[in-house]
Structure 1
Amino acid sequence: MEILGSTFLTTWTLTVIDFLLLILGLVAVWFYGYAIHAAIAWLKRPTPVEPNFHPPITILKPICGVDSDAYENLASFCQQDYPTYQIIFAVLESTDPGIEVVQKIIHYFPQVDIQLVVSDRTIGTNRKVSNLANAVTKARYDTLLIADSDIRVGTDYLQRVVQPLRDARVGVVTCLYRSLASGWVARLEAVGVATEFHAGVLVSTKLEGIKFALGSTILIRRTVLEKIGGFEAIADYLADDFQLGNLPTQAGYKVVLSDYVVEHVLASTTLVDSLRRQIRWARGTRVCRPWGYLGLIFTHGTVTSLLLLIATGESALGWLFLGITWMARLVMGWVVGVRSLDDPVAKKFLWLIPLWDLIGFAIWCYSFMGNRIEWRGKGWRLTKDGKLVAISHESARRFATSMIANHPNSKI
């Protein structure tokens, strides 16, 4: 009873800062609990497969360079148990090393309808979208599927992801992904994606329905693409995958999160390259969903509980709340990353979650300090609505140098 009274007394003597940290932490614990609920609900609603529903599909594959395990990734799309489909690979430059991999694919899969489009025509600042615009001119079918070149799938992929299109109201289908990563930096990043990013996707889906798409898979009707203005409508945006989901919802169509989980091959990378990629994604998300991105402050329970512990002088309340918060975070990570996604990296490295959360919070804070990003060796500025504006080479070099120099781990 005396200990209980002491705890309540400590609670009542909290400062304003302590109280705010406590509120942030409590909301984070609620978020973790709701993410667990959303993940379980997603697992329980698999889409029945109707074997007689198999509209012909054109797969659009934009290629830029050679990804890790490029042949295996691309070949997986050529091994589908699906009656009629076409694959169009597109590159912008005739010297692109990815062409050699595509030619190898064409040679080893003569039974598959495969085309290679090499065209330097650009329709905007996003070169990937220009690739897609060039590819779609050769599309034979009215159901289009876009998947990044670092994605790998099973033989039942097409038959599974197409099922939601039985509903005429559905305009877009997208997928979550599990990571195949090598190297400690890539594994740390994969843990964050599996246990934090996908948790946010599942919560958003459960609360309001998904209103965006993920580059891992975007299955879209040609009529829907034409209604939103075609690829020309998104040619200048960084987050083209977000736009291909968001614009159809504005046009009255539904976006469905498939029960199929694809594999994402995440190559070994350096800490600096990983940070650049994370900052690019963070700033891209911030301009696409500014209020939702700002609201992520309520999901950083690992950090806020740690700050509360420090602010209360390592009090009993601080330790108790930190233990509850971190346990809830780890359970959420296990349910989402291990139980739902069956992510191999999350299974082995779940204990890295607190470290990732600290890094993720730092990236979240840093993402508000400007609108510049680096993408494929070039410097860009993001407008308020998410469009890409090129900056000069010298400005990009100075920006990249200052970003690395100012980062606390820049000496690593």
Structure 2
Amino acid sequence: MDLDSDDYHDFFASLGLIWFLALWTIWLLGTWAARNRYRLRPRSPLSSAARTAVPGVSILRPLKGLDTNLYENLESTFTQEYPNFEILLCIADEDDQALPVVRELISKYPNVNAKVLIGVEDVGVNPKVNNLMGGYRSAANDILWILDSNVTVHSGTLARSVDALQTPTKNGERVALVHHVPFAFSTESRVGSRIEEAFLNTNHAKMYLAINTVAIESCVVGKSNLYRRSDLERVNGSLKRITSPEPNAKQDGLCGLPAFGRFLAEDNMIASALWHELGLRHDLSCDVARNVVGNMSLRDYIQRRIRWIRVRKHMVFAATMVEPLTESIVLVAIGSSSLKYLFGFSRWLYILVHFCMLLVIDLDVYTSLSGHPLPQSIKWEFLAGWVTRELLALPIFIIAIFGNTVEWRGRTYQVLKNGEVQHVSNHRSFLNSFAILRWYQPQKYQVLATDPVLP
């Protein structure tokens, strides 16, 4: 049967309406998950248990330079309400500016088992992994908590995370990794800082929580991850399921943390490997990883987003290509067109209602994660950052998708299959080919290996 133009219009309008409703369902699910998980944070019984009654945890913190709020970030691990842990502070060289801060904290908390490990082991192109190797090999415990240097956590986070790690999922599956949703906290009234704060605490958070509530695929940001070294030692990032019936079977060849030094987003790959290679699952505790955002310019923000879109493109291509259709500007165009065609709704009324409702649920997510409403002192800066983020999302994606190189720690990398990278030289950026876009040209500035990866 032949279809006329009206049939095609009906089909695409209906398809657009279905997509519109699906995205709003996901957003509402993320908002509900934030309320359900983070509005109440009970104290774990492990906080007051005897030392011998709880599993030991080795906390590994990779350090490079003076991150914003570094003293408070590191001190938050010294004050964990958990009876059995050690802290391994990993620094590349003795001249690092973070070393005096570390020594001051060790002196302040003499009863905490904390050690400084200086030096790197070159296992790949990822400097964070190279930096962590000393702590990884020296850790006295099987449970590892990898915590980035620009993150601060609540004193009860470790106990609640160990609880989650030891509790099977509702389907009875073993949990291999516990992670924490990033919550950005800006200490600077810079444009990029406010946009990053608005992005992580609203759009990113509700999508992250919704995906992890459905839990049909690994979706992990590596700001704060807890997992077992014995599990990590069985996987290598191939994402191929181990089929051997042996209970502790492992992949052939190099496994463990050294195997992930070839990836730019090692945290995401470790989570995916535990999920796919071992068939295990992840969980979130009721804590956030307070990601302290320092002096970030608009250029810094744009380049950060470009970098990780290019990485994701080689790790989850299909999901990355669909990403623009999940952005509010595109969705409002789809939704308003579909509703106008099918039901005669006013476009402008729909657009107004859409963005008002979106702002309401985003602020609700912020309140759930932070434990308080948006402070009046940053209200207008935050809202300006929220609007700017929504407007920039699609242009940044278009710029990012046409390219496979990223600037990281002052060096240029070619992103390969599955997020592996290699050094390249004499690279001419795609952006530099267009004079109008040269303002966005990546700069050779130092970028911490702790930048988030957005699934």
AA aligned to 1:236 is: R
2:191 equivalent to 1:196: no
Select 1:236's aligned residue among 258, 262, 267: 262
Deviates more, 1:53-62 or 1:299-308: 299-308
Correspondence 1:122-271 to 2 at 5 A: 122-167=122-167, 169-181=174-186, 182-183=188-189, 184-209=191-216, 211-228=218-235, 229-250=255-276, 251-271=278-298
**Aligned position for 1:57:** 57
Select 1:399's aligned residue among 429, 446, 449: 429
Distance 2:221 2:372 in 1: 17
2:283 equivalent to 1:278: no
**Aligned residues: CA RMSD:** 3.2
AA aligned to 1:273 is: D
Distance 1:374 1:345 in 2: 34
AA aligned to 2:292 is: V
Deviates more, 1:85-94 or 1:160-169: 160-169
Deviates more, 1:401-410 or 1:322-331: 401-410
AA aligned to 2:400 is: S
Distance 1:270 1:44 in 2: 32
Q: 1:276 to 1:357 in 2, by over 3 A?
A: same
**Is the contact made by 1:305 and 1:318 (CA closer than 8 Å) also made in structure 2?**
no
2:360 equivalent to 1:331: yes
TM-score (norm. length: structure 1): 0.85
**Is the contact made by 2:39 and 2:368 (CA closer than 8 Å) also made in structure 1?**
no
Q: How far 1:258 moved relative to its partner?
A: 1.2
AA aligned to 1:234 is: F
AA aligned to 1:208 is: A
Distance 2:91 2:160 in 1: 28
**Aligned position for 1:87:** 87
Deviates more, 1:19-28 or 1:144-153: 19-28
**Is the contact made by 2:62 and 2:148 (CA closer than 8 Å) also made in structure 1?**
yes
SS at match of 2:287: strand
What do the CA deviations read for 1:115-168 (whole angstroms, capped 9, x no partner)? 111123210000101111221111111111001000111222211211112236
Q: 1:199 to 1:193 in 2, by over 3 A?
A: same
Q: 1:343 to 1:210 in 2, by over 3 A?
A: farther
**Aligned position for 1:386:** 419
Correspondence 1:110-121 to 2 at 5 A: 110-121=110-121
Q: How far 1:48 moved relative to its partner?
A: 7.4
Distance 2:71 2:373 in 1: 21
**Aligned position for 2:346:** 317
**Is the contact made by 2:305 and 2:396 (CA closer than 8 Å) also made in structure 1?**
yes
AA aligned to 2:34 is: A
**Is the contact made by 2:274 and 2:280 (CA closer than 8 Å) also made in structure 1?**
yes
Deviates more, 1:298-307 or 1:102-111: 298-307
Distance 1:180 1:174 in 2: 18
Deviates more, 1:293-302 or 1:249-258: 293-302
SS at match of 1:29: helix
**Is the contact made by 2:57 and 2:86 (CA closer than 8 Å) also made in structure 1?**
yes
AA aligned to 1:338 is: T
SS at match of 2:233: helix
Distance 2:212 2:335 in 1: 31
Unaligned segments of structure 2, at least 5 residues:
1-5, 169-173, 236-254, 442-455
TM-score (norm. length: structure 2): 0.78
**Aligned position for 2:319:** 292
Distance 1:92 1:162 in 2: 29
SS at match of 1:137: helix
Distance 2:304 2:373 in 1: 22
Deviates more, 1:317-326 or 1:63-72: 317-326
Q: 1:400 to 1:370 in 2, by over 3 A?
A: closer
Deviates more, 1:318-327 or 1:224-233: 318-327
SS at match of 1:176: strand
**Is the contact made by 1:25 and 1:300 (CA closer than 8 Å) also made in structure 2?**
no
